[in-house]
Structure 1
């Protein structure tokens, strides 16, 4: 294999960053939408929820826990057939969106459930006394009151997805992980491998800093 310097590898790195942004961005969007939905349902169906339903809570909770317990690499391999059914292929950055979302949704759903539990019961009881429907309480009380926790959890989930996306490169998912393997590890090119690591560190730091800033701003506005 031809050895390249870290400067010569920059165009490929930028291409890989674009692939990572594509699969992480879409999987994050899907994760937030479905994760919030599942998390809200878990909170509503909990024994102390607004519409308690122990059987549903137990079943959905068990599915979430099982999905969270699977290592991501095993999950990717197990979902190859499902991924091919959904997007028509099991390889590439678009295919990687499926296992990334499936792996992150249960994680974020539990984060959402935990954030909703922090809402003071008195506020929910007051809304019920005023005749608010369950949907009104979710939309006007539960979600707004738990917003800082939801954003902090979303930031953590996004960072986790970035880490997961590097493993997607192992099975041809593209992105920075694939770049690091092909141009760094397989060619024993430590400068290029280090280049990929630094790029990921910078991205994670930026994402975490932005998430912390948003949570901080919300705290100041509420204060």
Structure 2
């Protein structure tokens, strides 16, 4: 296979990878942020202390993080079929991608929020700020660099997940690498997909670092 034959295959596969990563990132950012905030505010001594709720949330997050992605993808196949009507293709891959990434990002959100100076929170409380204001205008605002850095790491992990999803019919660069690069022994296809994945990761990391620096007060 010549490079002229390889290049037309790369754009559709790249577009599918970006689509899966983008949609999964959107859901992950929203739900992972919610879970992360709840983990912090419901802990003992938090803004809304509820230890039983905190333990349940912590257990759910820990279980989600402990499952290898390929096993998770197979395990929730019935749920995927209920949500999108199929277990194969881009849309189907988004479901396990999101389910796998939410607990991962939730822990990163939790870490970022814990790094906020307690004195800033205490000052806001002393000035009469409500709990919602403390969460939205203090905790989340002060933790923005960490939240962006955590989301960057999560997006990069999602790109890796999409490659794995492609090996079992999820589409994207992973599927291209397996179908042509591995099964048909087309080395050029394998090299091209690997290079594209590396470039995507480098771009996302650079953009994430830039945004995090812009948001940092330091």
**Preserved contact between residue 112 and residue 146 of structure 2 (Cα < 8 Å):** yes
**Preserved contact between residue 41 and residue 49 of structure 2 (Cα < 8 Å):** yes
TM-score, structure 1 as length reference:
0.95
The alignment status of 1:38 with 2:35, answered yes or no, reads yes
Q: Residue 83 of structure 1 corresponds to which residue in structure 2?
A: 80
Q: Residue 126 of structure 1 corresponds to which residue in structure 2?
A: 123
Could you tell me how far apart the structure 2 residues matched to 1:6 and 1:99 are?
33
Three-state SS of the structure 1 residue aligned to 2:3 is: coil
Q: Aligned to 1:72, which of 65, 69, 73?
A: 69
Per the TM alignment, residue 19 of structure 1 is displaced from its structure 2 partner at its CA by 0.5
Q: Residue 172 of structure 1 corresponds to which residue in structure 2?
A: 169
Q: Deviations over 1:61-113 (max 9, x none)?
A: 01100110000000000111100100111110011100000000000000001
Q: Aligned to 1:156, which of 153, 157, 174?
A: 153
Counting only pairs closer than 5 Å after superposition, residues 111-122 of structure 1 correspond to structure 2 as 111-122=108-119
Could you tell me how far apart the structure 2 residues matched to 1:69 and 1:7 are?
42
- Over aligned residue pairs, what C-alpha RMSD do you find? 0.9
Three-state SS of the structure 1 residue aligned to 2:120 is: helix
Q: Residue 57 of structure 1 corresponds to which residue in structure 2?
A: 54
Q: Residue 147 of structure 1 corresponds to which residue in structure 2?
A: 144
**Preserved contact between residue 91 and residue 172 of structure 1 (Cα < 8 Å):** yes
**Preserved contact between residue 6 and residue 188 of structure 2 (Cα < 8 Å):** no
Three-state SS of the structure 1 residue aligned to 2:4 is: coil
**Preserved contact between residue 17 and residue 175 of structure 1 (Cα < 8 Å):** yes
**Preserved contact between residue 72 and residue 164 of structure 1 (Cα < 8 Å):** yes
Could you tell me how far apart the structure 1 residues matched to 2:2 and 2:174 are?
18
**Preserved contact between residue 166 and residue 178 of structure 1 (Cα < 8 Å):** yes
Q: Answer with 181-190 or 153-162: which moved more.
A: 181-190
Q: Residue 3 of structure 2 corresponds to which residue in structure 1?
A: 6
Per the TM alignment, residue 215 of structure 1 is displaced from its structure 2 partner at its CA by 1.3
Could you tell me how far apart the structure 2 residues matched to 1:186 and 1:97 are?
25
Q: Answer with 173-182 or 41-50: which moved more.
A: 41-50
Q: Aligned to 1:97, which of 94, 97, 119?
A: 94
Three-state SS of the structure 2 residue aligned to 1:171 is: coil
Three-state SS of the structure 2 residue aligned to 1:12 is: helix
Moved segments of 4+, more than 3 Å: none
**Unaligned segments of structure 1, at least 5 residues:** none
